[in-house]
């Protein structure tokens, strides 16, 4: 191992934050979980006693998001559910602070004591909006939620939102690696969420550190701002799937705003051409994907962790 990689790994170990969540009455279900696709990059994940939301965007068709510098984009779809219909959340995972990922409705109505895991710059901006519990992560830093005998480790992955000079005008972004684990050490499931990144060379470090990924959520759309692409299109999305190599890949963030220029159909054709159709699962707004965790990963010795009650 190179000295540079040793230094990077040591830094990752040195910056681990941990929060213990209160136990509740329902036993955690370790056999499987679900991902509910709200729309854009917004998904609701439930597994192993944890319930969380990513990149909350609940505007409706015809409404606009403001992207800064006088730019705005119209929403072309409606969310699968409304903000008021959400269950009780343990936290929100936010890849970056853009209105199509954290809209003005969310900024106004989401309870200000909702914990949010995000980038340092987004955490600072959220504090100014009145959010009182934020957990900033730099690349390769890890945050751990713990509930009973289960824990969820979230590590910030590399990401870059824009090429060249435009990079300085757009907010920093992060991907996420989520590891659902037993506190005794066993990893139950590993999930990668790309965030609004382009395909960049820094992504190559991810499979070296995390060679076995069960599920990958990839932000696509080929978003263009000022004529430049700032999220992966079909071609880059395929390259990212081949690199991260999840057992199952799910494209999200692909058809919701007028700035999205690479439609899902382009990605589907690209996947078919690469003969990877069996490894990609497609969701439309309001759909759920249920996954199963192999029995050999689940410890039978301690299942006393607890999940959130239904609301």
Is the residue at 26 inside a domain? no
Please give the pLDDT value at position 282: 98
Is the residue at 284 inside a domain? yes
Is the residue at 27 inside a domain? no
Burial 222-250 (b: 16+ CB within 10 A, else e): bbbbeeebbbbbbebbbebbeebbbebbb
Say which CATH number the domain at 242 has: 3.60.15.10
Please give the pLDDT value at position 168: 78
Please give the pLDDT value at position 5: 46
Element (H, E) at 291: strand 288-292
Is the residue at 275 inside a domain? yes
Three-state DSSP class for residue 153: strand
Domain ranges, residue 223? 34-292
How far is CA 126 from each of CA 73, 92, 140, 276, rounded to the nearest angstrom? 22, 12, 22, 39
Please give the pLDDT value at position 308: 35
Please give the pLDDT value at position 305: 35
Please give the pLDDT value at position 278: 97
How far is the C-alpha of 39 from the C-alpha of 46, rounded, in Å? 16
Is the residue at 13 inside a domain? no
Nearest to 223 by CA among 82, 77, 41, 92: 41
Is the residue at 297 inside a domain? no
How far is the C-alpha of 103 from the C-alpha of 278, rounded, in Å? 34
Q: Are 161 and 197 in contact (CB under 8 A)?
A: yes
Is the residue at 303 inside a domain? no
pTM of the model: 0.91
Is the residue at 24 inside a domain? no
pLDDT tens per residue, the chain (311 residues)?
A: 444 444 444 444 445 788 999 987 778 889 999 999 999 999 999 999 999 999 999 999 999 998 776 688 999 999 999 999 999 999 999 999 999 999 999 999 999 999 999 999 999 999 999 999 999 999 999 999 999 999 999 999 999 988 777 777 788 999 999 999 998 778 999 999 999 999 999 999 999 999 999 999 999 999 998 788 999 999 999 999 999 999 999 999 999 999 999 999 999 999 999 999 999 999 999 999 999 998 888 754 344 333 333 33
- When divided into structural domains, the chain yields a total of 1
Please give the pLDDT value at position 26: 79
- In this structure, what token pair is assigned to residue 16? 């681990």
């Amino acid at each position: 191992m190179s000295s540079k990689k040793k230094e990077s790994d040591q830094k990752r170990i040195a910056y681990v934050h941990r929060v213990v969540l209160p136990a509740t009455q329902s036993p955690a279900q370790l056999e499987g979980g679900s991902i509910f696709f709200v729309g854009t990059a917004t998904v609701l994940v439930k597994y192993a006693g944890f319930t969380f939301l990513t990149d909350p965007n609940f505007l409706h068709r015809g409404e606009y998001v403001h992207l800064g510098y006088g730019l705005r984009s119209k929403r072309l779809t409606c969310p699968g559910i409304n903000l008021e219909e959400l269950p009780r959340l343990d936290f929100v995972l936010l890849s970056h602070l853009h209105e199509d990922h954290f809209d003005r409705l969310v900024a106004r109505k989401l309870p200000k004591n909702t914990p949010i895991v995000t980038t340092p710059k987004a955490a600072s901006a959220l504090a100014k909006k009145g959010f009182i519990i934020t957990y900033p992560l730099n690349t390769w830093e890890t945050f751990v939620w713990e509930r009973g005998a289960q824990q969820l480790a979230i590590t910030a992955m590399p990401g870059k939102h824009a090429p060249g000079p435009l990079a300085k005008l757009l907010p920093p972004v992060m991907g996420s690696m989520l590891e659902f684990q037993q506190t005794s050490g066993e990893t139950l499931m590993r999930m990668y969420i790309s965030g609004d990144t382009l395909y960049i060379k820094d992504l190559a470090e991810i499979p070296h550190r995390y060679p076995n990924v069960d599920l990958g959520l990839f932000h696509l759309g080929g978003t263009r701002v000022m004529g430049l692409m700032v999220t992966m299109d079909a071609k880059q999305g395929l390259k990212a799937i081949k690199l991260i190599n999840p057992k199952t890949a799910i494209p999200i963030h692909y058809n919701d705003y007028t700035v999205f220029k690479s439609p899902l159909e382009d990605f589907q054709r690209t996947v078919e051409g690469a003969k990877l159709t069996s490894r990609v699962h497609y969701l439309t707004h309001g759909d759920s994907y249920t996954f199963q965790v192999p029995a050999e990963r689940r410890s039978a010795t301690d299942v006393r962790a607890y999940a959130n009650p239904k609301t």
